[in-house]
Structure 1
Amino acid sequence: MEQFAAGRILRGRYRLERILGRGAMGHVWQGTDVYLERPVAVKTVAADLLALPDRRGTALARFEREAKAAAHLDHANTTTVYDAAVTEDVCCLVMQLVDGTTLDNVVDYAATTDPHLVARLVGELHELLALPLDEGDYALAAAELGMEVGPPEPFSYGAWFQAVAVTLAGG
């Protein structure tokens, strides 16, 4: 499995530039499609995770499922998937690069957005949190919501959704 570092070019086309976020399964990089000369986000699976024979199959299957699910999404609030690879040499998902957010930005959002819209979002987050999901399911939900960067340290996806819901609710 390929090791990832800034400056590395994946699939002869995608140059990794800097890490935008870390998640349970790997990293999301800011990169450049050197052929089309456009910025991209590149999600990679951690090489150490794939090096464990008892976890490799599960990790690759989850990553492939996420890539296919994300590729079928067509909505203004989701990122566009440009390319994906799940091979012995490289495991990556190449997407549209979008600006991310922090919890401080969530506070600003709550203060400047229609309260009815904020209440609706809080309700939807609480419904999501009420489901019997594990962290992998929350990560997939985040991808489906267009959140292509892992939650900021030290949050897991579930804890990040909880923090956002509480913050938006004014708690």
Structure 2
Amino acid sequence: PWLLKYGVDTYGTFKVEPTIIVKSRELNLWMPTHMADLVVEGLNKAGRKAEGAKVAILGVAFLENSDDTRNTPSQPLYELLVKKGAKPVLHDPYVRDFEVSFTTDLDEAITGADAIVLVTPHSEYLNLDLRSLKAKMRTPVLVDGRNAYNKSECEKAGIIYIGVGKPRVEA
């Protein structure tokens, strides 16, 4: 929506108000706030608070399997989690330089984590063994921002799964 919004801002009004363009941009800007709220929800479900919780944010790059961090939601998500008292750790296997401190060691990011947030679906993240992942975590909460994991497989592995846009009410 950035390019479309630029066109609206640059070239002015249309006979039809392009609200869907503006609203889609607003939704994208709101997503880090929503993700931070989902992390808190998952931690609460596991009996933990956000204060002091280690949260591994997987993916700094905007696109999978790249090092391009332009428009990444990871930085605002990181900042929001810090405001909630959490201790976020950013990980990305492709990015080498970023404004916020991060690690390229996946084990360092996930070991002892109270929650993991999948932001960028790098191939390294999609092939993780869920039981091994749970064993390394202190609190097994996974917030899947890309709906890359199967909820029932996560739950079989003992992981509390929250997928963006997925129903969370138990039947």
Tell me, yes or no, whether TM beats 0.5.
no
